[in-house]
Copies of this chain bind each other. A is one copy, B any other.
């Protein structure tokens, strides 16, 4: 299995450690990145470096991309000199970016027409999960392609779920983001109420985390909100990009999502205050401004 050659396109905060974990598992890896220095950094780990997505793809059995947004994925895969034009027949394509399910299906169709197979396989678990190979991977695509990809996924992640046909990996990721942001709002409203009422925040978190209010977000972001620690696990600007995908997809589905829309508006207020590069827990600052507890930051 590890005689397979993998092209890995997009070696940013997530992609670089994922590519490193593939090298560690014994795969030959050819990397490409738009900013070349980020790809070059992986030579020390045993990767070879390609000058373009096409050049990476033509040498590979499997092509993986991990990119910021839908247009980046379309450009890398579908451009005249992109992956689909250059790849061998029987290539397994895997996009691990978070993009629109409709874009994932469009790329899947193109790969299929060119004789390959495709999986949309977005991830969750953050940069820590990428480094430690503990990512959750939500895959959409044909059974056969999923089976072929499974050992590759196991080198990068821990929870690997085959969610359905192409697009369903992305759809699952969007559902994941809906839950995450509303759980963040839950913690932020409770902390703002506690602060305004003069409640000891640590005791409130202790009591609520013990019961039916428990969540990953309350446990992990609650203490940061209480301490005013805005260090990003996940940036508000990136969260808003994911919520844009959620809301575009919801429009395609003819689906109102009132809670998700509200959270997105509150994050927009953070962005208006110049706080887009803070961690998502900083939504509590928007609520504190609404509550008369805080002014806009000095600028």
A residues with a Cβ closer than 8 A to B are: 101, 124-126, 136, 138, 158-159, 161-164, 168, 171-172, 174-176, 178-183, 185-187, 189-194, 196-200, 203-204, 206-208, 210-218, 220, 246, 249-250, 253-260, 262-263, 266, 287, 290-292
Contacts and interface: CB of A to CB of B under 8 A. Distances in A.
Given A136-B207, A180-B213, A259-B263, 11 more contacts: A159-B207, A172-B204, A172-B207, A178-B186, A182-B182, A182-B259, A212-B216, A215-B217, A258-B266, A258-B290, A259-B262
Contacts of A250: 193
A257 B189 CA distance: 6
B253 A189 contact: no
Interface centre among A197, A203, A217 (most CB of B within 10 A): A197
Contacts of A256: 287, 290-291
Given A124-B212, A215-B215, A253-B193, A171 B199 contact: yes
A164 B291 contact: no
A12 to B, nearest CB: 19
A263 B185 CA distance: 12
Given A189-B259, A197-B101, A259-B262, A183 B216 contact: no
- Overall SS of chain A's interface: helix
A183 B212 CA distance: 9
Given A185-B182, A213-B176, A193 B163 contact: no
A204 B187 contact: no
Contacts of A125: 211-212
Given A187-B179, A193-B174, A214 B211 contact: no
B214 A194 contact: no
A216 to B, nearest CB: 4
A255 B284 CA distance: 13
A211 B216 contact: yes
Contacts of A249: 193, 197
A82 B126 CA distance: 57
16 contacts: A136-B207, A158-B210, A163-B203, A168-B197, A171-B193, A175-B193, A176-B208, A176-B213, A192-B255, A193-B255, A196-B254, A212-B216, A258-B266, A258-B290, A259-B259, A259-B262
